[in-house]
Amino acid sequence: MKYKIDNLQYCKWTREVFQINREAKLDAVHVTIVYHEDYNELLNKIKEWDTFFKENSDIIFLGKSFKDIEKANKENKTAIFFGFQNCSPIEDDISLVEKVHEHGCRFMQLTYNNQSLLATGCYEKLDSGVTNFGKEVIKEMNRVGIVIDMSHSAEKSTYDAIEISEKPIAITHANPFFWHQAKRNKSDQLLKTLSNNDGMLGLSLYPHHLKDNTNCTLESFCEMTARTADLMGVEKIGIGSDLCLNQPDSVVEWMRNGTWAKNKNYGEGSKNKSGFPKQPKWFEDARGFKNLENGLKKVGFNEKEINGILGNNWFNFYKKI
Amino acid sequence: MKYKIDNLQYCKWTREVFQINREAKLDAVHVTIVYHEDYNELLNKIKEWDTFFKENSDIIFLGKSFKDIEKANKENKTAIFFGFQNCSPIEDDISLVEKVHEHGCRFMQLTYNNQSLLATGCYEKLDSGVTNFGKEVIKEMNRVGIVIDMSHSAEKSTYDAIEISEKPIAITHANPFFWHQAKRNKSDQLLKTLSNNDGMLGLSLYPHHLKDNTNCTLESFCEMTARTADLMGVEKIGIGSDLCLNQPDSVVEWMRNGTWAKNKNYGEGSKNKSGFPKQPKWFEDARGFKNLENGLKKVGFNEKEINGILGNNWFNFYKKI
């Protein structure tokens, strides 16, 4: 079988966006439904999604396991898998891990950019690793079946999570540091350790993670993919585009600032480039998967490998959750 | 003037306990009103306190500044100052710092035993210090007038807080490590740094912080006080008894476990000694201040020094908040 999966999108959801994902033939998308929201705020977001599912039931539905990816493929729909970019919805309460799973959560970052109750984010100065509460939460996430996502976490915290977790973990949206030296991108050693423990990396198409940002070429991206495959093994790589289609700049402010500071923080941006960056031409939305397919062929991947990178590898990972 | 202040109590509050504090002639008590409660749960606790104040208005009232200590002294009442043992009531929201101050909060620990969003607690393996959010919160606590309390924090976090805070900070309830090697007690170097920055230490009467625990002698406690005065300066020492009168053992479980683990944690206790420990005979409640007065005299403190330790030093500290 041949599945197409984008394992991270955070678009401003409308029927149009779901349709674009269908045009791109995506069988599954892992969508970020909350950043810094607490449990009650999460429940409100889920109500919004209930409406999306009702109004677009011909093209999307809530995915709960890998079987829903198979189902989506058969029915020409996209299975939507819920994920959180911060652990704030479980607040300080271990019992909420099971609850958020019941509500459909399948991926949760232990941290966004800052320190959380579970681990350290990549924007902190020092990284003390996974905390006492974090250890308990990892155990519980393993038990109920939520993937530990360390995309925004600091390095020691990520090593800790790999070691503590009894199931493979994921970095759903980031690139290798060797290619573009952004704070959010990951070191060779970390990527090797991730892959040695059956973890997956979702390559990001977010301009701040790309060499030359918006001007990154398809060729450069695909060459990086080849080098990453050499490092991690080709079956450990997928796509986590981090597409934020149609989001207003107020949303990137919320992502970066939450409610933790009185002054503005610009995260990966800067004062002069504070908004969402522009996507490269060859990946303006998920229809860019077609360009990736061609680009990956050009750098020498065979068909099976390309199918793996564009979806089958994530499908196999979902089977293990 | 001669003020008596106990700068940390967490009793099961009843008129009887307020009366005991009056018998002990306490002009002010800093009371813990929450541990791991969030903002809404805090508001409920404050409602409970509104009732306490109404029903016991002849002997207690809510203290907001040092002037209320003077007032309490004149009127033979006890001014009650609110404090939090964890930062959970401000959740992840900088704007709640001002709100909790409006509700009467004057002391807040940046951490209880575990990692918080602000800093690291003394029961974590590694201490990454004050976090990005922590720095913002300290600034805001300085601005509105809430004292940073590092009683349960890990060491680097405490050094960071001393350095970042523009106002003196406090360790409201702990003892020196040289006397009793408990995780919660503090090193010489830390106590010196605290004192060099005009910070205060409240000596604890909680058995787990005492040499020989429940069997600790008054003599030993007062000798420790003398050594601590040599280390920090006698005007930097007060009492923060950590009295938990009449609390059921379910409360010590809540303090230690909150909602962060499925298995029980025993904190400073152990499986066989899981409940609240028994107070030493000479400090079964605040009336033990009288014994402290005698004991401190015996180890050579003069009257002014004793008055300082038993209340005037805290009074002078409150003046700077």
Task: Name the minimum distance, in Å, from the CA of A36 to any CA of chain B.
Answer: 8
Q: Which of B94, B95, B131 sits opposite A124 (nearest CB)?
A: B131
Residue with tokens 């200590």: B69
Among candidates A59, A28, A33, which has minimal Cα distance to A46?
A33
**Model confidence pLDDT, tens digit, residues B111-154:** 999 999 999 999 999 999 999 999 999 999 999 999 999 999 99
Does B115 contact A131 at a Cβ distance shorter than 8 Å?
yes
Q: What are the helix and strand counts (H, E) for chain B?
A: 12, 9
Residue A53 carries which side chain, given as an amino acid letter?
Answer: F
Distances B219 to A80, A301, B231, B237, B299 between C-alpha atoms, Å: 68, 79, 19, 17, 8
- Predicted pLDDT at B206: 97
CA–CA separation, A14 and B280 (whole Å): 67
Question: Around Cβ A300, how many Cβ atoms within 10 Å?
Answer: 11
Residue of A nearest to B129 (CA): A126
Sheet strands (E) in chain B: 5-9, 28-34, 60-62, 78-84, 105-109, 147-149, 170-171, 200-203, 237-239
Residues paired with residue B83 on neighbouring β-strands, in sequence order: B32, B107
Rg (CA), chain A: 18
A185-to-A209, B8, B44 alpha-carbon distances in Å: 7, 46, 44
Q: Tens digit of pLDDT for each residue in B22-72?
A: 999 999 999 999 999 999 999 999 999 999 999 999 999 999 999 999 999
| C-alpha span between A134 and A117 (Å, rounded) | 7
The pLDDT tens digits for A199-225 are 999 999 999 999 999 999 999 999 999
Residues facing residue B105 across a β-bridge: B82
Q: List Cβ neighbours of B53 (8 Å cut-off, separation of 6 or more).
A: B60, B61, B62, B80
**Which chain A residue's Cα is nearest to B96?**
A259
CA–CA separation, A135 vs A133, rounded Å?
5
- What is the C-alpha R_g of chain B? 18
ipTM: 0.92
Beta strands per DSSP E along B188-239:
200-203, 237-239
Which CA distances in Å does A191 have to A114, B205, B262, B289?
21, 51, 32, 60
Which of A92, A126, A128 has its CB closest to that of B88?
A92
Q: Which of A88, A115, A164 to mutate to test the interface with B (most CBs of B within 10 A)?
A: A115
Task: Give the domain ranges of chain B.
Answer: 5-320
- Whether residues A262 and B131 touch (CB distance < 8 A) is answered with no
Q: Supply the pLDDT for residue B134.
A: 98
Nearest of A7, A13, A9 to residue A46 by alpha carbon: A13
Contacts of B115 in chain A (CB under 8 A): 115, 117, 128, 131-134
Contact between A309 and A225 (Cβ < 8 Å): yes
Task: Determine contact, residues A136/A161, Cβ cutoff 8 Å.
Answer: no
**Spatial distance between the Cα atoms of B178 and B200, rounded to a whole number of angstroms:** 18
Sequence-ordered strand ranges (E) for chain A:
5-9, 28-34, 60-62, 78-84, 105-109, 147-149, 170-171, 200-203, 237-239
Shortest CA distance from A118: residue in chain B = B115
What one-letter code names the amino acid at A152? H
Helical packing angle, A218-232 and A188-196, nearest 10°: 60
Separation CA A300–CA A313 (nearest Å):
18
pLDDT for A74-107, tens place per residue? 999 999 999 999 999 999 999 999 999 999 999 9
Superfamily of domain A5-320: Metal-dependent hydrolases (3.20.20.140)
Calpha distance B59→B67 (Å, rounded):
17
What would the two tokens of residue A219 be? Answer: 């060729």
pLDDT digit of tens for each residue in chain A (321 aa)?
999 999 999 999 999 999 999 999 999 999 999 999 999 999 999 999 999 999 999 999 999 999 999 999 999 999 999 999 999 999 999 999 999 999 999 999 999 999 999 999 999 999 999 999 999 999 999 999 999 999 999 999 999 999 999 999 999 999 999 999 999 999 999 999 999 999 999 999 999 999 999 999 999 999 999 999 999 999 999 999 999 999 998 888 888 888 999 888 888 888 888 889 999 999 999 999 999 999 999 999 999 999 999 999 999 999 998
Residues of B in contact with A120 (CB under 8 A): 128
- Bridge partners (DSSP) listed for residue A34: A84
For residue range B200-247, what is the model confidence (pLDDT) as tens digits? 999 999 999 999 999 999 999 999 999 999 999 999 999 999 999 999
Q: How many CB atoms lie within 10 A of CB B277?
A: 17
Contact indicator for B167, B321 with CB cutoff of 8 Å: yes
Mean pLDDT, rounded, for B160-185: 98
